[in-house]
């Protein structure tokens, strides 16, 4: 009996000898900063007496009350919720579907598509953010494509007008047709469109009709710019699209790796019994990955609430800060203007609390509706 007790004591001592360094390291790296963050969030710390500030003291939940009254906080929270929804109901379903198509060899060149879809994950998010910011800019790829389409359309109309007129035959009717084809552009370009446009055309040599057409396209073609992306109600759409494009490949790899663990004989038996491809996916593969899906959803939530670099590089708060996120709001409070460390830590704790609430909801949904692996 004494030997048994002595043996257990040695096991317990050996256990704590091995575990204690990791526990202390964990508390130092994670636990200590969390405790400091909580203390700072309920204090008035602004550098302390050492940096010419007020003496440090606990002032209560003033910063949390300020957040509740701050419209920017609620706007940032709304944008984070948008990202969470797009991540959970966009990235996860698309990642699962793409993984299933590759796993079941429904699409050809599965390895190629797997690499293409995962590629955004190996590129720096700063590079991705800058790249997409350029694409969506007024001089970017989208604007260039749209302007080429508009230019092609107006060029076709101008050619038809001159062909119907028999060439360089400038009449008032031809000028009116050109004004009609240009829409509001002629009214913005000329004070008196019928007179001034006719005078402009007559300055050209009749033998240089193609040059005239080219110049009229540049003059009268609609110049499109993505200004609609700066409107508050749609400014987040490019950000959500890029987030969906960027991270779907990560979940494809996660689901594909776990699909390959499923016993192939189970799927073959289902197919022999007459199950369609959709039934195999929904009744065999999907329930087998219920735990993986929950873990992926938790990863989605954590990543969505922690979004910073990509959105910061793309928008830097956007027009009137309509694309502000909680992480960017926290960064501004801590490092821009007069630093407000208590407010920044209050925002950080809000992110943690929101993340915990969403994770608990995810676990409850999984417990209620999820299958068993």
Q: What is the C-alpha to C-alpha distance for residues 97 and 134, in angstroms, rounded to an integer?
A: 30
pLDDT of residue 98: 94
3-class DSSP assignment, residue 58: strand
Q: What is the C-alpha to C-alpha distance for residues 33 and 211, in angstroms, rounded to an integer?
A: 69
Among residues 245, 246, 251, 244, which one has the least CA distance to residue 99? 251
pLDDT of residue 158: 87
Q: How far, in Å, are 49, 53, 64 from residue 46 at the CA level?
A: 9, 6, 16
The 10s digit of each residue's pLDDT in 170-225 is: 888 888 888 888 888 887 788 888 888 888 888 888 888 889 888 888 888 877 77
Decide if 280 contacts 106 (C-beta within 8 A).
no
pLDDT of residue 32: 84
- Looking at the chain, the number of H-run helices and the number of E-run strands are 20, 0
Q: What is the C-alpha to C-alpha distance for residues 93 and 87, in angstroms, rounded to an integer?
A: 9
3-class DSSP assignment, residue 217: helix
Among residues 58, 25, 23, 22, which one has the least CA distance to residue 40? 58
Return the CATH architecture of domain 72-137+229-336. Answer: Orthogonal Bundle (1.10)
In angstroms, how far apart are the furthest CA atoms of the chain?
116
3-state class percentages of the chain: helix first, strand second, coil last, to nearest 5: 75, 0, 25
pLDDT of residue 142: 83
Q: What is the C-alpha to C-alpha distance for residues 158 and 141, in angstroms, rounded to an integer?
A: 25
DSSP secondary-structure letter at 56? P
The 10s digit of each residue's pLDDT in 81-116 is: 999 999 999 999 999 999 999 998 888 888 899 999
Report the length, in residues, of the chain: 373
Q: What is the C-alpha to C-alpha distance for residues 270 and 84, in angstroms, rounded to an integer?
A: 35
Residues of the chain with pLDDT under 70: 1-7, 47-53, 227-230, 316-320, 369-373
pLDDT of residue 95: 94
Decide if 334 contacts 308 (C-beta within 8 A).
no
Q: What is the C-alpha to C-alpha distance for residues 254 and 60, in angstroms, rounded to an integer?
A: 44
The 10s digit of each residue's pLDDT in 33-45 is: 888 889 888 888 8
How big is the chain by its Cα radius of gyration, in Å? 31
Which stretches of 195-282 are assigned E, i.e. beta strand? none
Decide if 239 contacts 311 (C-beta within 8 A).
yes
pLDDT of residue 274: 84
pLDDT of residue 43: 87
Q: What is the C-alpha to C-alpha distance for residues 324 and 78, in angstroms, rounded to an integer?
A: 9
Hey, where are the domains in the chain?
2-41, 72-137+229-336, 154-220
The model's pTM: 0.78
pLDDT of residue 101: 92
């Amino acid at each position: 009996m004494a030997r048994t007790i002595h043996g257990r004591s040695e096991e317990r001592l050996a256990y704590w000898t091995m575990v204690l360094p990791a526990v202390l390291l964990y508390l130092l790296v994670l636990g200590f900063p969390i405790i400091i963050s909580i203390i700072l969030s309920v204090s008035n710390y602004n550098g302390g007496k050492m940096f010419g500030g007020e003496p440090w003291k606990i002032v209560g939940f003033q910063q949390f009350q300020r957040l509740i009254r701050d419209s920017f906080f609620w706007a940032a929270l709304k944008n984070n919720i948008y990202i969470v929804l797009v991540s959970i109901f966009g990235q996860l379903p698309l990642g699962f579907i793409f993984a299933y198509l590759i796993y079941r060899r429904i699409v050809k060149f599965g390895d190629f598509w797997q690499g293409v879809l995962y590629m955004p994950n190996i590129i720096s998010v700063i590079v991705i953010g800058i790249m997409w910011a350029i694409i969506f800019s007024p001089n970017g790829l989208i604007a260039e494509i749209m302007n080429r389409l508009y230019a092609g359309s107006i060029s076709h109309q101008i050619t038809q007008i001159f062909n119907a007129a028999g060439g360089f035959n400038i009449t008032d009717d031809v000028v009116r047709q050109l004004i009609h084809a240009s829409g509001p552009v002629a009214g913005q370009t000329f004070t008196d469109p019928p007179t001034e446009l006719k005078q402009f055309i007559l300055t050209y040599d009749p033998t240089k009709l193609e040059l005239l057409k080219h110049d009229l396209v540049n003059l009268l073609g609609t110049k499109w710019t993505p200004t609609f992306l700066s409107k508050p109600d749609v400014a987040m759409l490019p950000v959500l699209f890029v987030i969906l494009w960027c991270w779907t490949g990560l979940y494809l790899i996660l689901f594909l790796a776990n699909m390959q663990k499923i016993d192939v004989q189970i799927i073959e038996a289902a197919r022999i019994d007459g199950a369609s491809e959709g039934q195999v996916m929904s009744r065999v593969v999907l329930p087998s990955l219920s735990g993986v899906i929950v873990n992926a959803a938790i990863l989605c939530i954590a990543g969505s609430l922690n979004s910073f670099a990509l959105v910061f590089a793309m928008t830097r708060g956007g027009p009137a800060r309509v694309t502000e996120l909680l992480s960017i709001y926290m960064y501004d409070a801590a490092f821009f203007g007069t630093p407000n460390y208590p407010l920044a830590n209050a925002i950080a704790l809000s992110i943690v609390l929101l993340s915990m609430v969403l994770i608990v909801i995810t676990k409850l949904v999984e417990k209620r509706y999820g299958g068993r692996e």
